[in-house]
Amino acid sequence: MNRRDFLKAGAAVPALSLLPEALLAETTIQENKNKFPNALQPKMDGDVKVFELFIDIHQQEIVPAFKFHTLAFNNQVPGPEIRVQQGDKVRVIFKNKTELNHTIHWHGLYVPWRMDGVPYVTQMPVMPGQEFVYEFVAEPYGTHFYHCHWGTLLHMQSGMYGSFIVENADDPIKKQFPYEREYTLLYSAHDTNFIRNELNGMLERMKERMYLTKKGRFDKERFAVFDTKDEFAEAVKNGYQPPYVVNRRAPSDLPQPNWFTVNGKSYPFTPNLYIKEGESIRVRLINGGTEEHYLHLHGHDFWLVADDGVPVPQPWQQNTLRLSPGKTLDIIIEGKNRGIWTFHDHDTRRVTNNGLYPGGNLLALVYEDMPAEEAGLGMMAKKMGLNSLPIVALDE
Amino acid sequence: MLRSKWFLILFVVFIGAGGPTLFAQVSPEIQLGARGVMSFNTDVAEHKATSAVNDFSDTGLLLGFRQKLYNNFRGQLVIGMQFPDANSDLGQVFFHQTFLKIEDKSNILKMGRSRVRSALIEFPTLRDDDALYFTDVLNPFSSGEKTEDNQYGNVLELAHVFGQRTWLRVHGEHFTETPVFPATTETDFSLNAVGFSLQYRVPETQIWNRPFLQQIGIGFNNFLTDRPGYTSRTDKMLKNVSFSTVLNLRPDPVHFWDFRMQGIYNAGFKEIENVAAFGELARAKATAGFASLRYLYRKLERPTLQLALSFGYKTFPDLLHSTDQLQVVANSFYRLGENFDAGFQVQYSRNTGDLAGLFGESETRFQFGLVYAIDRSWNRQFSDRNSLLNLEHGYIP
Residues of A in Cβ contact (< 8 Å) with B392? 57, 203
pLDDT at A7 over 80: no
Residue at B23 is within a domain: no
Residue at B388 is within a domain: no
Q: Give the pLDDT confidence score for residue A363 in this predicted structure.
A: 94
What is the pLDDT averaged over residues A240-254? 80
Q: Give tens-digit pLDDT for A108-127.
A: 999 999 999 999 999 999 99
Measured in angstroms, the CA of B6 and the nearest CA of chain A are apart by 36
C-alpha distances out from residue B175 to A37, B116, B306, Å: 61, 8, 34
**Is A59 close to B396, i.e. CB distance below 8 A?**
yes
Q: Give the pLDDT confidence score for residue B80 in this predicted structure.
A: 96
Average pLDDT, chain A: 89
pLDDT at B20 over 50: no
- Alpha-carbon distance of B286 to B131, in angstroms, equals 16
Question: Of the ranges A325-339, B1-15, B103-117, B161-175, which one carries the lowest mean pLDDT score?
Answer: B1-15
> Phi-psi bin for B148: left (phi > 0), alpha (psi -120 to 50), beta?
alpha
| Top-confidence range, A215-224, B55-64, B85-94 | B55-64
Q: Closest-CA residue in chain B for A207? A: B208
What Rg value do the Cα atoms of chain A yield, rounded? 23
| Nearest in space to A260 (alpha carbons), one of A236, A291, A281 | A291
Structural domains of chain A, with CATH = 3-32+258-383 (2.60.40.420), 43-171 (2.60.40.420)
Q: DSSP class of residue A80?
A: E
Q: Closest-CA residue in chain A for B337? A: A247
Q: Give the pLDDT confidence score for residue A378 in this predicted structure.
A: 67
Band of pLDDT at residue A248, cut at 50, 70 and 90: confident
Residue at B377 is within a domain: no
Q: Give tens-digit pLDDT for A124-178.
A: 999 999 999 999 999 999 999 999 999 999 999 999 999 999 999 999 999 999 9
Using a CB–CB cut-off of 8 Å, the residues of B that contact A are: 205-206, 208-209, 252-254, 299-302, 337-338, 380-383, 387-389, 392-394, 396
- Determine the residue among B202, B205, B206, B300 to mutate to test chain A binding: the one whose Cβ has the most chain A Cβ atoms within 10 Å: B300
C-alpha distances out from residue A77 to A196, A312, A355, Å: 16, 29, 22
Residue at B158 is within a domain: yes
What is the pLDDT averaged over residues B256-268? 97
Within a 10 A sphere around the Cβ of B125, how many other Cβ atoms?
20
B247 contact partners, CB below 8 Å, separation of at least 6 = B212, B213, B214, B258, B259, B260
| CATH code of the domain containing B114 | 2.40.160.10
**Is B302 close to A208, i.e. CB distance below 8 A?**
no
Average pLDDT, chain B: 88
Within a 10 A sphere around the Cβ of A82, how many other Cβ atoms?
25
Residue at B100 is within a domain: yes
Measured in angstroms, the CA of B221 and the nearest CA of chain A are apart by 35
Residue at B386 is within a domain: no
Band of pLDDT at residue A295, cut at 50, 70 and 90: very high
| Nearest in space to B259 (alpha carbons), one of B272, B268, B246 | B246
Within a 10 A sphere around the Cβ of A274, how many other Cβ atoms?
22
| Top-confidence range, A374-378, B148-152, B342-346 | B342-346
Q: Give the pLDDT confidence score for residue A9 in this predicted structure.
A: 40
Q: Give the pLDDT confidence score for residue A225 in this predicted structure.
A: 87
User: What whole-number percentage of chain B has pLDDT above 90?
Assistant: 67
pLDDT at B16 over 70: no
- Alpha-carbon distance of A200 to A193, in angstroms, equals 11
Q: Enumerate the H helices of chain A as residue ranges.
A: 3-9, 20-23, 26-33, 152-157, 172-176, 192-214, 220-223, 229-237, 379-383
Question: Of the ranges B156-170, B202-216, B297-311, B351-365, which one carries the lowest mean pLDDT score?
Answer: B202-216
Residue at B180 is within a domain: yes
Q: Which residue of B252, B338, B389 is in closest CB contact with A69?
A: B389
pLDDT at A386 over 80: no
Residue span of the structural domain in which B99 resides = 44-56+86-372
Residue A262 and residue A289 in contact, taking contact as beta carbons nearer than 8 Å = no
User: What whole-number percentage of chain B has pLDDT above 70?
Assistant: 89
| Nearest in space to B28 (alpha carbons), one of B80, B99, B83, B78 | B78
Q: Give the pLDDT confidence score for residue A254 in this predicted structure.
A: 86
Distance of CA B56 to the CA centre of its chain: 18
Q: Which residue of A57, A197, A222 is in closest CB contact with B301?
A: A222
What is the pLDDT averaged over residues B253-274? 95
pLDDT at B141 over 60: yes
**Is B300 close to A221, i.e. CB distance below 8 A?**
yes
Residues in chain A: 396
Q: Closest-CA residue in chain B for A58? A: B393
Q: Which residue of A57, A200, A205 is in closest CB contact with B387?
A: A200
Q: Tell me the sheet residues that pair with A126.
A: A102
Q: Give the pLDDT confidence score for residue A133 in this predicted structure.
A: 98
The CA dihedral of A389, A391, A393, A394, to the nearest 10 degrees, is: -70
A14 contact partners, CB below 8 Å, separation of at least 6 = A64
**Is B389 close to A248, i.e. CB distance below 8 A?**
no
Q: Give the pLDDT confidence score for residue A208 in this predicted structure.
A: 87
Q: Enumerate the H helices of A270-348 as residue ranges.
A: none
- Alpha-carbon distance of A79 to A124, in angstroms, equals 22
What total number of domains does chain B contain?
1
Measured in angstroms, the CA of B117 and the nearest CA of chain A are apart by 29
Flag whether the ipTM exceeds 0.90: no
Please name the helix (run of DSSP H) or strand (run of DSSP E) that holds residue B214, with its range, or none. strand B213-224
- Alpha-carbon distance of A393 to A85, in angstroms, equals 43
Residue B126 and residue B343 in contact, taking contact as beta carbons nearer than 8 Å = yes
Q: Give tens-digit pLDDT for A185-219.
A: 999 999 999 999 999 999 999 988 888 888 898 88
**Is B208 close to A222, i.e. CB distance below 8 A?**
no
Question: Of the ranges A19-33, A92-106, A153-167, B134-148, which one carries the lowest mean pLDDT score?
Answer: A19-33
CB burial readout A235-263, b (16+ within 10 A) else e: beeeebbeeeeeebbeeeeebebbbbbbb
In this complex, is the C-beta atom of A41 within 8 Å of any C-beta atom belonging to chain B?
no
**What string of DSSP letters covers B252-278?**
-SSEEEEEEEEEEEE---TT-----SH
- Alpha-carbon distance of B139 to A75, in angstroms, equals 54
pLDDT at B22 over 60: no
pLDDT at B9 over 50: no
Q: Give the pLDDT confidence score for residue A380 in this predicted structure.
A: 67
Band of pLDDT at residue A34, cut at 50, 70 and 90: confident
Residue at B9 is within a domain: no
Q: Give the pLDDT confidence score for residue A18 in this predicted structure.
A: 55
Q: Closest-CA residue in chain A for B209? A: A207
| Nearest in space to A198 (alpha carbons), one of A246, A252, A274 | A252
Q: Give the pLDDT confidence score for residue A377 in this predicted structure.
A: 61
